[in-house]
Chains A and B, each alone.
Chain A
Amino acid sequence: MAPLLEVDDLHVHFFTRDGVVKAVDGVSFTLEPGRTLGMVGESGSGKSVTALSIMRLIPEPPGKVVSGDIRFKGRSVLQMSEKEQRDMRGNRIAMIFQDPMTSLNPVYRIGKQIGEPLRLHKNMTGKESVAAAAELLGRVGIPRPKERVRDYPHEFSGGMRQRAMIAMALACGPDILIADEPTTALDVTIQAQILELMQEIQARTESAIMMITHDLGVVADMADNVLVMYAGKAVEYGPADEVFYRPLHPYAWGLLESLPRHDVDDKGKLCPIKGQPPSLINLPSGCSFSPRCAYAQDICRSQAPPLAEIDPGHSSACHFSADKQFIAQSPRCAMEGR
């Protein structure tokens, strides 16, 4: 039985006047119903581009999927016709964007916008779609939905707009919900509400969620599996417990280490990763992380390590991940004593 979504060694490049931007340079993962994948990485890591590629929303010049495949329920998304892609978007795979202030069209009423996927994919009439929209608003926790469905976006707060976006994404009962930094622009208490809402919905509908974020706390809360991205590549992939407590890749170590501790009483210096993320036009030779890696050897600078499975279900793109002694020296392991 094919997985719900399978991304297979995806490479997406942008051909610009300044050079070729290798936005996604080797990403593989799968998604199953009812499970959440947390895609975590910093700016420029390629997580948004991966999500947009799945939805076929990357503008085709200057972008291009140069190799690899994306399969939805066994069928290649890249081979789909325009019509099949449109059928898929909003219907089988839906997306929530980061900025609730700009992702809703300010000149249309909320009900009309939420009802749009229903009119497009389920052939509902205008009236039916607005009624369905009211019901959806109620389901995402907006009080007095039958009245609020007639409001314009500017009458909704940020948190409510994000709920409206979630309602719109859920309208057709999609198999996959892709959420691109859905709570980054929201306050912490509102974020908690939205995350809880998403988990409730997932429990009810068994849809898969792809949660893209830079916030490791959100990933720890929501994700069953975690994909860590750096400079366009997947560098670590595995169950959340494994990645947080037994990470295999030095970038993951560095990321977890650089966070301010929430539990220790004596506050020492933070341990940042030295240097800057690389230019996606001039990637370093060999392993893209090697210039910043405290453990880099010659082989790291000449050969790019493939994403290889080290433990069952847990992969890492590092030459030394399979070496038990190397892993034992990781700062995370040393601190947790696991």
Chain B
Amino acid sequence: MAALLQVEGLIKHFHVGQGVLLSRLSKTVKAVEDISFTVDEGETLGLVGESGCGKSTTGRCINRLLEPTAGKIHFGDTDVGKLRGKQLKAYRRDVQFIFQDPYGSLNPRMTFGEIMAEPLVIHHIGTKKEREIQSREMLNRVGLSPEHINRYPHEFSGGQRQRVGIARALMLRPKMIICDEPVSALDVSIQAQIINLLEELQDELGLTYLFIAHDLSVIRHICDRVAVMYLGKIVELGGWREVYNSPNHPYTQSLLSAAPVPDPEKQHERVRIVLHGDVPSPIDPPEGCRFHTRCPIAQFPICETQEPELKEVGHGHQAACHFAKSFPIPEAAALTKQLVDGDDL
């Protein structure tokens, strides 16, 4: 399968300045720091991580909602970073975006019909009549009644609004959709409906998804391959089976063990690796391996001086750790807890 999207060395820094005059005093948030990955046609790649890991920022760089600070993004043969004007607009037909917040992502003063027709209007597709027909069809396809075409978002629930958000993303018949936490704001019983819908549409339309989320069980369900991010870097990358069944990076292992499962017996049996301290600030990330301040198996001095590269640990499976799987974690966690307690955060 051909790689549809190729990201190489993507870097995104934000300046949090002190106003215009004192911009020399500004600090830099290193949100995404040199990441590389590919997405094949028709597959779903998951970007998973906690807040501040850079997954949303990555998604927005790919469709140029944010301008990358450095790095290369290739979509098919196109160098996305170099696109301007009309070409950038044309790129937007191929790569669409679904947003997290069903309440904020739809303009409250536009009807569903207007919201869905807008992409067509912007790209001068079809006549007014044709657009209306397409909008109705699309509403139907995402499970809503076509009669709602003249209704306003505030009359509907979160799940229904999210369906419209999905419908809107499909209007231009994109090749790839970046889904930024599409179900996180929805109730559990509605999440399943939307996940099913996304999967059906993928099968039917041959879509490629970049799926960004923090919920590990959702990622496990919908993704073919998974990239685990921490503080702007990819720490583990591989097929979902490999990453979930034999995680190599200590962060992945902690993440998986920390996420509670809805099964009391299993939950009580599990050995939970509890990380200590808070996530460091992306303005001032730790030297060497960014995870070393919280890592249960960090070895000094190498972990605090040398940044580990992503290296192969299995077939199509990479991890960025000097000591991936060299130490069993539960015992090490208990030991380092005693050492870490009473320390500075």
Residues of A within 8 A of B (CB): 42-43, 143-144, 157-160, 187-193, 195-196, 214-221, 240-241, 244-245, 254-256, 258-263, 265, 267, 269-274, 276-277
Contact = CB atoms under 8 A, between A and B. Distances in A.
Given A244-B264, A258-B188, A269 B196 contact: yes
Contacts, number: 132
Interface stretch (B6-14, B132-140, B255-263): B255-263
A270 B217 CA distance: 12
A187 B188 contact: no
Contact of B217 (A158, A259, A269): A259
Contact of A217 (B190, B220, B260, B343): B260
A265 B244 CA distance: 11
A302 B134 CA distance: 41
Interface in B303-345: 341-345
B214 A187 contact: yes
Contact of A272 (B196, B222, B258, B259): B196
Given A159-B278, A192-B258, A262 B220 contact: yes
Contacts of B86: none
A256 B262 contact: yes
A218 B260 CA distance: 6
Given A42-B188, A258-B189, A270-B221, A244 B263 contact: yes
Contacts of A195: 260
A159 B263 CA distance: 25
Interface string B194-212: 0110010000000000000
Interface of B: 50-51, 157, 159-160, 187-193, 195-196, 199, 214, 216-218, 220-222, 241, 254-255, 257-268, 272, 274-276, 278-279, 341-345
B262 A214 contact: no
B262 A219 contact: yes
Contacts of A159: 278
Contacts of B345: 143, 160
B267 to A, nearest CB: 5
Nearest to B185: A43
Contact of A270 (B51, B196, B258, B267): B196
Contacts of A267: 221
Contacts of B275: 189, 192-193
B340 to A, nearest CB: 9
19 contacts: A42-B187, A160-B278, A189-B274, A190-B50, A192-B260, A192-B274, A192-B275, A195-B260, A217-B262, A219-B262, A220-B262, A240-B264, A241-B264, A241-B265, A244-B264, A259-B192, A262-B263, A270-B195, A273-B189
A109 B196 CA distance: 48
Given A143-B342, A244-B262, A189 B255 contact: yes
Contact of B50 (A189, A254, A256, A262): A189
B189 A42 contact: yes
Contact of A260 (B189, B195, B258, B279): B195
B220 A272 contact: no
A160 B277 CA distance: 9
